[in-house]
C-alpha cells in the first residue's frame, strides 16, 4: 500500500455485509415467491397445519377466561329468564284455576236451576262421520253428495254439520251415497234463534250470493250486525244450539214492513271435506198432546170394534 494514500474501507471487524437496500429487495422477492408458490402449489400447508396444532393448546388457554365470562353471563341471564317464565306460568295457573272454579260453580248453578225448573236434559243424538265426494251436477242448486247411504242407516232429514256449524240436511238417500242440500240452497230453511235477544226466526238460503237471509222480520226488530244465530231446535230436525250464521247486513227499508237481513253462514262447504251426520231430534222428542190423544182414540175405537165383533160371533154361535 502506498504510504501517501488513505484507505477508507472499514476494517474487517466492522464489515456489515450486503447493503440494506439489497436485503430489502431480496426478502421482498422471497416473500412474493413464497406467496405465489403457496397459492399455486400449497407448499406451506403442512407447515401451517403443524404450527396450528402446536398453537392450539396456547389458544385454548388464552381464550379460557373469555369463555368463562360468557358462560357466566349466559347462566345469570338464563336464570333471570327462567324466573320470569316461572312467574308467568304461576300467574297463568292462577288465572286458569279461577276460571275452572267459576266453571264448576256455573255448572252447579245450572244443575240446580234445571232441577228447580224441572227442565228436561239436553237431547243426545247419535252421529256418524262422512266425507263429501263431489258437488251435485245441477248448477241451479247447492247440493253435495256424501259417501254414506241407507246401508249405513242414513235417514232422510238427517242434519249435516262440520266443525264450524250447520252445513245442510240429507234430502235424498241412496244405498251407498246420500245427497245433502246445503243451507245456502234456495229451498233450504233453518229455524234459528238470536243468541243475543233469544228472538226466533227462519233463515233461508240465497244461492245467488252463496249466503242466507233472515226473512219476515219486522223493520224495527232488534237485530244488529254481528249477531250470532243458532238452531232453535223447534223443528224436530236440528238439535238446539248449533251455529248457523252471523248477521252480515241489516237493511231497514221504509217502503217495506220487513227488514232485509243478510247472513253469512258459519259453515263453508267449499272448503269442507269431512262432515258429521246427526240423528233427527224428532225421534227423541216426546209425543205431542194432539198426536197422543189421536192415537189413544184410535186404540179405544179399535178395542170397541173388536168387542162388538166378538159379541156378534158369540150371538151367532148361540142360535140353535
* Cβ-Cβ contacts under 8 Å for 212 (sequence gap 6 or more): 183, 184, 203, 204, 205, 206, 244, 245, 262, 263, 264, 265
- In terms of average pLDDT, the best of 62-76, 119-133, 218-232 is 218-232
Helical H segments across the chain, by residue range:
20-41, 45-117, 289-318
Q: How many CA atoms lie within 13 A of 19 on its CB side?
A: 3
281: left (phi over 0), alpha (psi -120 to 50) or beta: alpha
Q: How many CA atoms lie within 13 A of 269 on its CB side?
A: 27
Q: Three-state DSSP class for 163?
A: coil
Q: Three-state DSSP class for 196?
A: coil
Q: How far apart are CA 257 and CA 240, in angstroms?
A: 29
pLDDT at residue 119, rounded to an integer: 54
Whether the predicted pLDDT of 4 surpasses 70: no
pLDDT at residue 9, rounded to an integer: 60
pLDDT at residue 77, rounded to an integer: 83
- Range 13-23 burial, b when 16+ CB lie within 10 A, else e: eeeeeeeeeee
Q: How far apart are CA 179 and CA 172, in angstroms?
A: 5
Burial class, 189, CB count within 10 angstroms (exposed 0-12 / middle 13-18 / buried 19+) = middle
Please state which of the ranges 39-53, 117-131, 273-287, 290-304 shows the lowest mean pLDDT: 290-304
pLDDT tens digit string along 140-171?
Answer: 888 999 999 999 999 999 999 988 899 999 99
What is this structure's pTM? 0.55
For residues 155 and 280, is the Cβ–Cβ distance under 8 A? yes
Query: Residue 267's closest CA among 216, 210, 225?
Result: 210
pLDDT tens digit string along 194-251?
Answer: 999 999 999 999 866 778 999 989 888 899 999 999 999 888 889 888 999 999 999 9
Amino acid at each position: 500500500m502506498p504510504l501517501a494514500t488513505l484507505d477508507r474501507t472499514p476494517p474487517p471487524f466492522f464489515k456489515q455485509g450486503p447493503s440494506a437496500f439489497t436485503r430489502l429487495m431480496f426478502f421482498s422477492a422471497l416473500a412474493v415467491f413464497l406467496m405465489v408458490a403457496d397459492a399455486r402449489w400449497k407448499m406451506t400447508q403442512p407447515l401451517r397445519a403443524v404450527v396450528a396444532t402446536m398453537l392450539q393448546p396456547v389458544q385454548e388457554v388464552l381464550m379460557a377466561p373469555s369463555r368463562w365470562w360468557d358462560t357466566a353471563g349466559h347462566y345469570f341471564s338464563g336464570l333471570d329468564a327462567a324466573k320470569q317464565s316461572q312467574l308467568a306460568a304461576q300467574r297463568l295457573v292462577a288465572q286458569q284455576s279461577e276460571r275452572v272454579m267459576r266453571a264448576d260453580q256455573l255448572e252447579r248453578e245450572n244443575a240446580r236451576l234445571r232441577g228447580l225448573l224441572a227442565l228436561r236434559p239436553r237431547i243426545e243424538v247419535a252421529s256418524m262421520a262422512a266425507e263429501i265426494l263431489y258437488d251435485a251436477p245441477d248448477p241451479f242448486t247447492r247440493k253435495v253428495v256424501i259417501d254414506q247411504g241407507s246401508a249405513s242407516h242414513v235417514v232422510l232429514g238427517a242434519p249435516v254439520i262440520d266443525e264450524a256449524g250447520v252445513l245442510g240436511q240429507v234430502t235424498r238417500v241412496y244405498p251407498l251415497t246420500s245427497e245433502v242440500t246445503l243451507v245456502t240452497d234456495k229451498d233450504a230453511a233453518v229455524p234459528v234463534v238470536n243468541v243475543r235477544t233469544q228472538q226466533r226466526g227462519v233463515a233461508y238460503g240465497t244461492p245467488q250470493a252463496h249466503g242466507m237471509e233472515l226473512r219476515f222480520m219486522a223493520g224495527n226488530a232488534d237485530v244488529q250486525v254481528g249477531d250470532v244465530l243458532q238452531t232453535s231446535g223447534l223443528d224436530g230436525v236440528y238439535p238446539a244450539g248449533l251455529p248457523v250464521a252471523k248477521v252480515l247486513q241489516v237493511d231497514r227499508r221504509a217502503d217495506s214492513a220487513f227488514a232485509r237481513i243478510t247472513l253469512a253462514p258459519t259453515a263453508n262447504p267449499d272448503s269442507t271435506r269431512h262432515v258429521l251426520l246427526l240423528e233427527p231430534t224428532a225421534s227423541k222428542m216426546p209425543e205431542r198432546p194432539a198426536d197422543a190423544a189421536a192415537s189413544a182414540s184410535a186404540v179405544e175405537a179399535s178395542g170397541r170394534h173388536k168387542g162388538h165383533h166378538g159379541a156378534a160371533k158369540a150371538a151367532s154361535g148361540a142360535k140353535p
